[in-house]
């Protein structure tokens, strides 16, 4: 089995590469090779029993060799994230739309259509706090990132119908807890309010305790990516996109879980007002019916406390090291 990870240097891409290296198999089949692609050539995961090749470059000008003949699975995780796509329209379009077209064109050249697993986002929806969404809900995004993701989904479903590939697009919830530093995603604060206090650092909270978010853990997201790479797609029909079973949590519930894991940690939260950010994240939905995803075998989410504990177990030490925190 020959695998490519686009966005292989990113947070989920690295976790996925590590998991593939640790298991040596995908869907019961031995992995023969792994190709990683990102803006800069990503490092190979430790302990892989298969050759790993890394490439760096512009997704919209995808270098030859990133999706070579014989590729079985492409994980397409490369993206310009929400606040950045909002700030730089052309860059967002270039990576999120033209980049996806480049992936389609590379897949078209292969003799056998590869499985393509694409990370779309719940930011492709509007609806806001009160809406209950499912896979049949119209996508009417409140930001350019969401519009670009929704368009990319259309192109990947169409490319699957045409036989260029066999795509599964996952509309990922907001992933918590992200390690490292705050990033340019408008949802960055949702991880920051857990991560920064666990690092002993203060951080800003721009919404109130009753604000609901639709979230998933990195562990769960990697599980879903692997399931999407190996599942039977014959029941999907024309619609190759799915909302996996994340969970709806209130900010107040997140702070309570934080304090359960580290007593008093939430005292490091500064409540601030950010109307521009609120306008954007306020359009994101927080409640989904995920029956279709369950029917395809996507696994249910673990409890919130487990998510915080998994962050401490998996990501707190590397984050401290990266940020020079004792």
Burial environment of residue 191 by CB neighbours within 10 A (0 to 12, 13 to 18, 19 or more): buried
Piece of 7-15, 140-148, 287-295, 303-311 that binds its own copies (CB under 8 A): 140-148
Q: Using CB under 8 A, pick the residue from 126, 173, 179, 244 that binds its own copies.
A: 126
Q: Using CB under 8 A, pick the residue from 55, 75, 118, 155 that binds its own copies.
A: 155
Q: How many residues bind its own copies (CB under 8 A)?
A: 26
Q: Using CB under 8 A, pick the residue from 111, 235, 238, 326 that binds its own copies.
A: 238
Assess contact for 249 and 212: CB atoms under 8 A: yes
Angstrom distance (rounded) from CA 65 to CA 92? 24
Angstrom distance (rounded) from CA 212 to CA 250? 4
Angstrom distance (rounded) from CA 167 to CA 229? 9
Spatial neighbors of 113 by CB under 8 A, at least 6 apart, are 107, 160, 163, 164, 165, 166
Between 157 and 203, CB nearer to its own copies: 157
Q: Using CB under 8 A, pick the residue from 14, 15, 93, 301 that binds its own copies.
A: 93
Paired sense of beta strands 73-76 and 29-30, if any:
unpaired
Q: Using CB under 8 A, pick the residue from 96, 121, 144, 203 that binds its own copies.
A: 144
**Contacts for 20-23: CB closer than 8 Å, 24+ residues apart:** 20/45, 20/48, 21/45, 21/46, 21/47, 21/48, 21/49, 21/52, 22/47
Pattern 195-234, its own copies, x by CB under 8 A? ----------------------------------------
Partnered with residue 247 across adjacent β-strands are 215
Piece of 93-101, 201-209, 249-257, 299-307 that binds its own copies (CB under 8 A): 93-101
Pattern 157-196, its own copies, x by CB under 8 A? xx--xx----------------------------------
151 binds its own copies (CB under 8 A): yes
Tokens of 141: 């995004």
Q: Which of residues 23-82 bind its own copies (CB under 8 A)?
A: none
The reply to whether 145 belongs to the active site is: yes
Question: C-alpha angle with apex 121: 43 to 116, nearest 5 degrees?
Answer: 60
Residues that bind its own copies in the complex, under the rule CB under 8 A: 89, 93, 97, 101, 126, 136-144, 147, 150-151, 154-155, 157-158, 161-162, 238-239, 283
Active site residue ranges: 145
């Amino acid at each position: 089995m020959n695998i490519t990870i686009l966005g292989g240097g990113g947070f989920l891409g690295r976790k996925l590469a590590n998991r593939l290296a640790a298991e040596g198999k995908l869907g019961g089949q031995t992995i023969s090779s792994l190709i990683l692609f990102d803006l800069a050539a990503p490092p190979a995961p430790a302990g892989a029993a298969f050759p790993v090749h890394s490439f760096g470059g512009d997704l919209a000008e995808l270098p030859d060799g990133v999706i070579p003949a014989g590729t079985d699975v492409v994980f397409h995780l490369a993206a310009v994230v929400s606040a950045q796509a909002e700030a730089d329209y052309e860059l967002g379009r270039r990576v999120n739309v033209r980049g996806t077209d480049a992936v389609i064109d590379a897949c078209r050249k292969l003799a056998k259509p590869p499985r393509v697993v694409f990370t779309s986002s719940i930011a492709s929806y509007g609806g806001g706090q009160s809406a209950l969404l499912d896979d049949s809900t119209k996508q009417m995004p409140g930001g350019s990132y969401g519009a670009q993701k929704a368009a990319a989904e259309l192109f990947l479903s169409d490319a699957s119908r045409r036989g260029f590939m066999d795509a599964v697009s996952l509309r990922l919830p907001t992933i918590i807890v992200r390690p490292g530093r705050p990033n340019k995603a408008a949802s960055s604060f949702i991880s920051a309010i857990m991560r920064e206090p666990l690092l002993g650092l203060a951080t800003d909270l721009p919404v109130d305790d009753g604000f609901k978010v639709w979230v998933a853990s990195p562990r769960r997201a990697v599980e879903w990516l692997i399931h999407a790479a190996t599942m039977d797609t014959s029941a999907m029909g024309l619609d190759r996109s799915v909302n996996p079973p994340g969970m709806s949590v209130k900010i107040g519930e997140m702070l309570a879980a934080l304090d359960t894991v580290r007593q008093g940690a939430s005292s490091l939260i500064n409540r601030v007002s950010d109307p521009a950010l609120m306008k954007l994240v306020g359009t994101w939905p927080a409640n989904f019916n995920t029956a279709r995803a369950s029917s395809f075998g996507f696994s249910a989410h673990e409890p919130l406390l487990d998510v915080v504990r998994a962050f401490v177990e998996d990501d707190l030490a590397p984050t401290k090291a990266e940020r020079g925190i004792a």
